[in-house]
Chain A
Amino acid sequence: MRTLAVATVWLAAVPSLRLAGQDSARIAEAQSVLAPLVEAYGVSSAEGPVREAVKRLLPTWAKSETDTAGNLWVRLGQGNPLVVFVAHMDEIGFRVTAVRDDGSLELEPRGGFIASLFEGQPALVHTGKGDVAGVFIPRDSGFTRHTPPPPRVDVGATSRAGAIARGVSLGATVTMPKQYVRLAGTRATGRSFDDRVGDAALLLALRHLDRASLKHEVIFIWSVREEIGLEGAGVAAAALGTAPRRVHAIDTFVSADSPLELPNFAVAPIGAGAVARALDNSSVTPPAYVDSLLRLARARGVALQVGTTNGGNDGSMFTPYGVVDVALGWPLRYSHSPAEVIDLKDVASLAALVRAIAESW
């Protein structure tokens, strides 16, 4: 065993990625696109591996470009109205802020999440020399549920110099090892489905859409730094100004489909299709647009739910320019945890809806 580099040994008891015998072609394709995206690491401001994965999964005809912020763009079609789709590539995690004399790493969170879910778990420090394995140090006092002391990582070094020798540096991002794993039926678990499902939906839509039928220009954007304040989308919105007619943020619909959640709102069962995220903490979709969207989905035979949930979305960065934000998502259980759960039927449904919008709306 070497001290540097990955070193994560997965002795998992079950195959992580299986194709159930009854999987339809669209479920199988959704999984084949989603799984590599989920297993790429990309904490906010370090989305490079995810961006490269997206590029690899693009159809061969697609010409992509990366802007100064790190957003990846694909443009197709011509003429007005310009319609934009945006899904973010980044995920929650940590960044190294200091290396202590004892070799342990001090961290700051990138994005909002329950920090105790990382405590006492395996860690990966993503460095320029590769991933360095370690552990999130468990607390030894102050035993509460969700309020652990400031997180630290032990990479097995006993001095600052030892940690640095392993490749650790200030600013390096930190996550925990993750894996895409199929559950029963068409369900799956992993970390960072938020928003790799959105990324996958854009890719699947691009693969299948009929470019010849496009009646106007469409831009697909895979954005950066959403989890820390919609920063990448802000750059894209400023670049496009008032040109777009609509923007479709393609992001998680955090669902109350769980025995732990209140059913007051966010009620969208997993497996029942994509969701029009008609009201969240950052935007409200004009009701007429929701109605129009529902008619389109019905005409194309796409399962679509309508609901309201918490969270912000990239599309809200476009609205100050007079662009209507029609946010779309898919239902997710246990958001921002290491054990998020989705249903692949919803991924396929969302991809079909994106395609329908690009072609027909």
Chain B
Amino acid sequence: MGTRRVRQHSAVSGPRFSVGTTTGALLFLFAIPLFHLRAQSLEAIALRFAGMTAVTGLEQAMTDSLLALLPGSTRDRTGNVTLTLGQGAPKRLLQCPLDEVGYVVGNITGEGYLLLRRVGARTTYPLFDQQIEGHRVTVFGSKGPVPGVVAVKSTHLTRGRVATGAPDPVFTVDNAYVDVGAATAAEARALGIDVLAPLSLAKQPLPYGDRLLAAPVAGRRAACAALAAAVQAKPKVRGTVVVAFTVQSLYASDAGLASVKALLGPFTDIKTASLPTRYTDTAVETVALADVDKLQREMVQWMEGR
């Protein structure tokens, strides 16, 4: 890696409606009380969604939230949340992939540190793993979210020990020791943590500038917020529109979208909600909320056949 450049366009040109692409299903591992979501503006929903975690393939908590947010929606056998609007022909699909590249616990050391495995392979930012080094993370254990940190060498103890010009390879997930405060493996397990527990950076969505929003996978989450808000706007649908919040877009051959197509298709047209982003794939991936507003309007128009 090393050739890719972080996209740094200034507040992007506008929402994208990519045709026929996609990706799967999102698991939001971070349930937010939905009665809150119902009463909120699109901007507030985008903030809420950006604060959620949905490691690809492990999106249960988020889809639980979506089911509560969107009356009439159902979860299919793969985990996608779908909602059918209107009836008759044409039959079209409007989908938003919700999942993210993240981590699961792969092992627990005798000293209580968690070792990790990355889940999802499509991140292209060379420093993706390095973003967790020395930062707070959240482990989603069976007893609820558990805060932890990823160990980093103490600045003071590196002094005089690193030769000038010594190799400085990037941090990878194999270097990660997660410290949740446990002193033994048993203490970690007592917190509800075990192998396969999902983990992500502690999410702290950050509004800044002129209606900009920064967060990990902010683009996807804001696009899905726009789709949810478009549904809530009760559009007068032309024909049938299947709305799908899809899981596993970043793993297992896009199993979420494939499942929707197999179970609810065929579709005459497929559109994927997405937004342009700045600082893509970083912890401060940024979207312009004006673009989110525009995307919502465009999706309503598309559903209405205008």
Contacts and interface: CB of A to CB of B under 8 A. Distances in A.
A12 B127 CA distance: 24
A156 B204 contact: no
Contacts of A179: 136
Contact of A181 (B6, B136, B188): B136
Helix, strand, loop or mixed for chain A's interface? loop
A334 B1 CA distance: 28
Task: Determine which residue in A116, A120, A261 has the highest number of CB atoms from chain B within 10 A of its CB, and name it.
Answer: A120
A212 interface: no
A114 interface: yes
Task: Determine which residue in A8, A156, A260 has the highest number of CB atoms from chain B within 10 A of its CB, and name it.
Answer: A156
A132 B207 CA distance: 10
Given A1-B207, A145-B170, A112 B284 contact: no
B282 A116 contact: no
Contacts of B153: 114, 258, 260-261, 334
Task: Determine which residue in A3, A138, A177, A335 has the highest number of CB atoms from chain B within 10 A of its CB, and name it.
Answer: A138
A121 B283 contact: yes
User: Which 6 residue pairs are nearest across A and B when measured between Cβ atoms?
Assistant: A156-B209, A183-B181, A11-B51, A184-B181, A339-B149, A187-B181
B172 to A, nearest CB: 10
A259 B160 CA distance: 19
A9 B215 CA distance: 11
Contacts of A337: 134, 152, 154-155
Interface stretch (B66-74, B93-101, B140-148, B228-236): B140-148
A338 B154 CA distance: 11
A189 B149 contact: yes
B206 A120 contact: no
Nearest to B128: A120
A102 to B, nearest CB: 8
B264 interface: no
A146 B146 CA distance: 28
A309 B156 contact: yes
Contacts of A141: 2, 5
Contacts of A122: 204, 206, 214, 283-284
A265 to B, nearest CB: 9
B151 A260 contact: yes
A3 B151 contact: no
A334 B289 contact: no
A19 B240 CA distance: 53
Interface string B170-195: 11000001011111000110010000
Interface in B60-112: 109, 111
Nearest to A256: B157
A259 B155 contact: no
Contact of A136 (B135, B160, B212, B284): B284
Contacts of A117: 133-135, 152
B113 interface: yes
Interface in A256-288: 256, 258-262, 266, 271
Contact of B10 (A121, A140, A158, A311): A158
Contacts of B204: 8-12, 122, 177
Interface residues of B, number: 76
Contacts of B127: 119-120, 138-139, 143
Interface in A222-256: 254-256
A139 B208 contact: no
Chain A interface residue bracket vs B: 35 or more
Task: Determine which residue in A146, A179, A187, A259 has the highest number of CB atoms from chain B within 10 A of its CB, and name it.
Answer: A146
A266 B157 contact: yes
Contacts of A336: 154-156
B251 to A, nearest CB: 23
Interface string A320-361: 000000000000111111110100000000000000000000
A260 B152 contact: yes
16 contacts: A3-B210, A120-B284, A122-B214, A132-B208, A135-B279, A135-B286, A139-B6, A141-B5, A184-B191, A259-B111, A259-B151, A261-B153, A333-B179, A336-B156, A339-B135, A341-B149
B134 A334 contact: yes
Given A9-B204, A157-B209, A334-B149, A310 B159 contact: yes
Nearest to B111: A259
B136 A143 contact: no
B141 to A, nearest CB: 11
A156 B203 contact: no
Nearest to B31: A13
Given A117-B134, A121-B284, A11 B10 contact: no
B90 to A, nearest CB: 38
B206 A133 contact: yes
A312 to B, nearest CB: 9
A258 B151 contact: yes
A224 B41 CA distance: 44
Contacts of A335: 154-157
A143 B2 contact: yes
A155 interface: yes
Given A120-B279, A121-B135, A11 B159 contact: no
Interface in A97-142: 112-114, 116-117, 119-122, 132-141
Interface string A163-199: 0000000000000010101111101110000000000
A187 B161 CA distance: 29
B150 interface: yes
B202 interface: yes
Nearest to B207: A1
B249 interface: no
Contacts of B254: none
B210 A334 contact: no
B181 to A, nearest CB: 3
Nearest to A92: B155
A144 interface: yes
A14 B168 contact: no
Nearest to B112: A184
Nearest to A311: B156
Task: Determine which residue in A13, A184, A311 has the highest number of CB atoms from chain B within 10 A of its CB, and name it.
Answer: A13
A33 B155 CA distance: 26
